[in-house]
Structure 1
Amino acid sequence: MAGSISARALRQIWREGGEVALFDVREEGPYSRAHPFFAISLPISEIDARVMELAPRFSATLVVYDDGEGFAERAARRLEEIGYADVRLLRGGLAAYGEVGELFRDVNVPSKAFGELVESIRHTPSLPAQEAAKLIAEEPNLVVVDARRFEEYRAMSIPKGVSTPGGELALRIFDIAPSPDTFVLVNCAGRTRSIIGAQTLVDTGIPNRVAALRNGTIGWTLEGLALDVGQTRRCPTTSDIGRAQAIAAARARAKRVGVETIDAARFEALLEQRAERTLYLLDVRTPEEFAAGHIAGFRSAPGGQLVQATDEWIGVRGARIVLYDDAEARALTTAAWLVQLGWETYVLSPDAGVANESGSPTRRRPPLPALAENVILAAEVAVRRENFILVDIGRSVDYRAAHIPGAHWAAAAHLERDLATLPSDRTIVLTSTDGEIALDNLARARASRGGDVVALAGGNAAFGALTTEDASWISAPDDVYKRPYEGTDNASDAMRAYIDWELQLVAQLANDGVANFHVVR
């Protein structure tokens, strides 16, 4: 049976640098409106799919909480069933935490707060949108590097932007801007990746003038400036000279910050200590490079996105991290930021001689239920639809984008409540994008009602023809936070509110007092 821990005791562990994971097991919508600084969003419905990668050591302390919905107790039981030995409930939940610590809005908050702290301490150069637009229109010797993921860049970008994900900047800048007279403008959707990207280039020591686009595409849009859509420009490959310059600059920066590069023997020693100390092995190269070949046990975590959203890969605060990059510069640059974010981080030397493997690594997760007795084939559902009620419990954004005709949507977190509203004389068929979330939550669904419940084998992907029409909502779609910096349909008020929120993060960070960040000047 799970124990408990007080908010004060949890905060003391953070202050002392101890190992602990704090999981918010509500849906992402409520999480995004209020949560502790280091809380990780892990909805109860996604525990099986994600927890073993977020918390790879079964003896690590895992703390779970909700805001009185009853999710925490069920989540704790499931974590213990999976095999975690030290699971605790946060005493009093979110409300009790709010009495002793700050509650934060939005997602990826530690990384965003850190970016604001970097700008305030390092005085990272930036340009407002109108000034940047004038420069883009009039300055021929200019490059615009977009530090977001390629998918975000393709959705919308500023004129002349070239996709250069943040982790690639330090490696490729000497080929992107070989002339010291070239102005380098770094942009993202909001603020953080622009700030970190521009400061990375400043710290690299390039002679060029560098600036971040202040407030990113949000600031650009609020000024009434037009965005491009569907662009596919990508940063150039590296030359031998450019790569050598990048490695030398990254090594110098890493030495100033205190990043340690380790050999095969030191790496093996860290692996041997994994039972006592949580260890994350992350490959910071591009996803394409990772897919072509990677070291066994490493996960793909492109460097710029890892700094931007550390909590999407790493759940246990106080853990160790080992990064790998065969070009070295990306790992060294990423590690330099992670060290300042308070993580014990190492870089595995490309000369360590650790063998590579190809193909996608096996995702760590509990086994799915035995298929034969728990699933129904799409063909049977298609010809006997009158016998079934299809209920999609994947993420609501995926349901909006494409769902099986006639399928209803229900929040996986609220299955016990919402399935009880459906007729009991028909079999419920649970589905999700690939079927895994449906299978993961099948036992909960069966326990909640008297009628039969099965899962659709292979989920929506196996069904065939999908639609965007005739959506039917059993639950309110509050499972996903609508980010005001993604896409082109955001309300102006939401974008302004987001920028205002980011600008006050440094003050809230100082008032909370648990971050242990240290920006190296």
Structure 2
Amino acid sequence: MSVSPEAIRSALLARREIALIDVRQEALFALGHPLFAAQIPLQRIALEAPWRIPRQNTPIVVYDDGEGLAEPALHQLRALGYTQADVLEGGLAGWKAAGYELFEDVNSYSKAFGELVEHRRHTPSLPAPDVLALIEEKADIAILDARRFDEYATMSIPGGRSVPGAELVLRAPVAAPDPDTTIIVNCAGRTRSIIGTQSLINAGLPNRIFALRNGTIGWTLAGQALETGRQESVEKGEGSGHDLARERARDVAYRAGVRRIDSADLKGLIADSDRTLYRFDVRQPADFAAGHPAGFRNAPGGQLVQETDHFAPVRGARIVLVDDLGSRADMTASWLAQLGWEVLVLADAFDGPLETGDDGAPPPRGPHGRYKRPYEGTDNREAAMQAYLDWEYGLVAQLERDGTHGFFVI
């Protein structure tokens, strides 16, 4: 049995659960795929599918582009116990023939959402030469890098410090306690800079706040040198600072329609066998390993917003978030809600016993199974970086043509 492109589009518009899975290698996936497709290569289905698609009666549709991978993938899924796995009628060619959009690169809908946020909120940004001028004149600025720490250590803006995205509302006031200090948020390209900057604006920080326009890509294309090997992080602060961050973030989450639940409510969600439930602890890995609620996986909030299709490939599922200090879960939830997810925050997650160690996630893919992003590392060609930016600039118009996203921006 196969599922038509029209039926998949109907499910997306109705917000019914569906996991649309591209079973090609990630480099081929990055050349073009439906907006809400996720990618699991045939060779890793047995490893990744039980982790990323936890409910065995989830509607799953797999596809390739004529390589002969979809049918073997379907057999593997059924052997793993998935009862509603089918193939896309006509594969990727069938999707194109139906007149539907194909999106390039990876984490495409999160990146498209970031562009939509900037488009609608006019998120302020500064070009790389202007930021360099501020650095050289020793202006009162704090440069905060919203990427993962390992990305920051690989290459960073001179003087920048690491504050991964979901940590910004908590840690930015520590980095810039004087409201006259200008805060500049950067990532490698655009999305995490935009989301990070808008997070601080949404939370009502009194500082002037800007994104570094086009991130380290823009910095490199301007002919400016990056630093390597930096190890500077901003601490969490303490006491009243945590309380203020929690208050600010909770207000943002409320405006985005995020609901709060307790452990009794969570039991009811777990018992609902007709809905997929993802449970994520959005703190940094070291905090998670030191003690986390049972049954929760680690997905640092900034990366969860950036790579939502990786962490939660079942579109239409429920998501429950936890965080011992509160602000990180609420800020992450505010963005996931705007991305069209039903997302809840568990308020009493840390009141009982905790587990330690990692969450047992499958080992990451090696370089051979991973598409090299044009914004990673220090050896990217300028033409590839510029092409990547040009692609991002066009995503808002492509979202409008596609018509299935259901995003909103508070």
- Secondary structure of the equivalent of 2:185? strand
1:214-273 CA-to-partner distances (Å, cap 9, x unmatched) read 000000000000000000001123221211110111111111111111111111111111
Residues 277, 320 of structure 2: 8 Å contact kept: yes
Amino acid of the structure 1 residue aligned with 2:328: R
Residues 185, 212 of structure 1: 8 Å contact kept: yes
Cα offset for 1:362? Answer: 4.0
Residues 325, 350 of structure 1: 8 Å contact kept: no
Q: Which residue of 2 aligns with 1:168?
A: 167
Q: Which residue of 1 aligns with 2:385?
A: 495
Residues 52, 364 of structure 1: 8 Å contact kept: no
Q: Which residue of 2 aligns with 1:379?
A: none
Q: Which residue of 2 aligns with 1:113?
A: 112
Q: Which moved more, 1:480-489 or 1:136-145?
A: 136-145
Amino acid of the structure 2 residue aligned with 1:40: A
Q: Which moved more, 1:241-250 or 1:203-212?
A: 241-250
Partners in 2 of 1:252 and 1:321 — Cα distance?
19
- Secondary structure of the equivalent of 1:80? helix
Cα offset for 1:480? Answer: 2.9
Residues 322, 347 of structure 2: 8 Å contact kept: yes
Q: Which residue of 2 aligns with 1:33?
A: 31
Partners in 2 of 1:167 and 1:356 — Cα distance?
22
Partners in 2 of 1:334 and 1:247 — Cα distance?
12
Residues 298, 359 of structure 2: 8 Å contact kept: no
Cα offset for 1:150? Answer: 0.4
Partners in 1 of 2:150 and 2:117 — Cα distance?
26
- Secondary structure of the equivalent of 1:345? strand
Cα offset for 1:136? Answer: 1.8
Cα offset for 1:5? Answer: 0.5
Q: Which residue of 1 aligns with 2:192?
A: 193
> Is 2:375 the counterpart of 1:480?
no
Task: Decide whether aligned partners of structure 1 residues 229 and 154 sit closer, same or farther in structure 2, where only a CA change above 3 A counts.
Answer: same
Task: Decide whether aligned partners of structure 1 residues 396 and 278 sit closer, same or farther in structure 2, where only a CA change above 3 A counts.
Answer: closer
- Secondary structure of the equivalent of 1:38? coil
1:295-330 CA-to-partner distances (Å, cap 9, x unmatched) read 111100000010011111101000000000000000
Partners in 2 of 1:250 and 1:39 — Cα distance?
30
Matches within 5 A, 1:9-28: 9-28=7-26
Partners in 2 of 1:260 and 1:355 — Cα distance?
24
Cα offset for 1:188? Answer: 0.3
2:367 corresponds, among 397, 407, 418, to 397
Higher relative contact order (CA 8 A, sep 6+): 2
- Secondary structure of the equivalent of 2:375? coil
- Secondary structure of the equivalent of 2:324? coil
Q: Which residue of 1 aligns with 2:63?
A: 65
- Secondary structure of the equivalent of 1:295? coil
> Is 2:284 the counterpart of 1:286?
yes
- Secondary structure of the equivalent of 1:487? coil
Residues 24, 43 of structure 1: 8 Å contact kept: yes
Q: Which residue of 2 aligns with 1:253?
A: 252
Matches within 5 A, 1:181-220: 181-220=180-219
Q: Which residue of 1 aligns with 2:231?
A: 232
Amino acid of the structure 2 residue aligned with 1:333: M
Partners in 1 of 2:106 and 2:27 — Cα distance?
10
Matches within 5 A, 1:396-415: 397=367
Partners in 2 of 1:227 and 1:352 — Cα distance?
40
Matches within 5 A, 1:81-480: 81-99=79-97, 100-273=99-272, 275-350=273-348, 353-363=351-361, 397=367, 479-480=369-370
Task: Decide whether aligned partners of structure 1 residues 364 and 218 sit closer, same or farther in structure 2, where only a CA change above 3 A counts.
Answer: closer
Partners in 1 of 2:43 and 2:81 — Cα distance?
17
1:462-492 CA-to-partner distances (Å, cap 9, x unmatched) read xxxxxxxxxxxxxxxxx43221100010000
- Secondary structure of the equivalent of 1:360? coil
TM-score (normalizing by structure 2): 0.97
Cα offset for 1:98? Answer: 1.1
Partners in 1 of 2:17 and 2:375 — Cα distance?
32
Residues 31, 105 of structure 2: 8 Å contact kept: yes
Residues 145, 162 of structure 1: 8 Å contact kept: yes
- Secondary structure of the equivalent of 1:181? coil
Partners in 2 of 1:298 and 1:323 — Cα distance?
9
Residues 144, 160 of structure 1: 8 Å contact kept: yes
Residues 20, 36 of structure 2: 8 Å contact kept: yes
Amino acid of the structure 1 residue aligned with 2:231: T
Runs of 5+ in structure 1 lacking a partner?
366-393, 399-478
Amino acid of the structure 2 residue aligned with 1:490: N
- Secondary structure of the equivalent of 1:33? coil
Cα offset for 1:350? Answer: 3.6
Residues 170, 236 of structure 2: 8 Å contact kept: no
Amino acid of the structure 1 residue aligned with 2:247: A
Q: Which moved more, 1:134-143 or 1:9-18?
A: 134-143
Residues 342, 517 of structure 1: 8 Å contact kept: yes
Partners in 1 of 2:380 and 2:101 — Cα distance?
28
Q: Which residue of 2 aligns with 1:511?
A: 401
Q: Which residue of 2 aligns with 1:50?
A: 48
1:484-509 CA-to-partner distances (Å, cap 9, x unmatched) read 10001000000000000000000001
1:4 corresponds, among 2, 5, 25, to 2
Identity %: 52
Cα offset for 1:278? Answer: 0.3
Partners in 2 of 1:120 and 1:362 — Cα distance?
39
Task: Decide whether aligned partners of structure 1 residues 503 and 334 sit closer, same or farther in structure 2, where only a CA change above 3 A counts.
Answer: same
The count of aligned residue pairs is 409
- Secondary structure of the equivalent of 2:205? coil
- Cα RMSD of the aligned pairs, angstroms, is 1.4
Cα offset for 1:361? Answer: 3.2
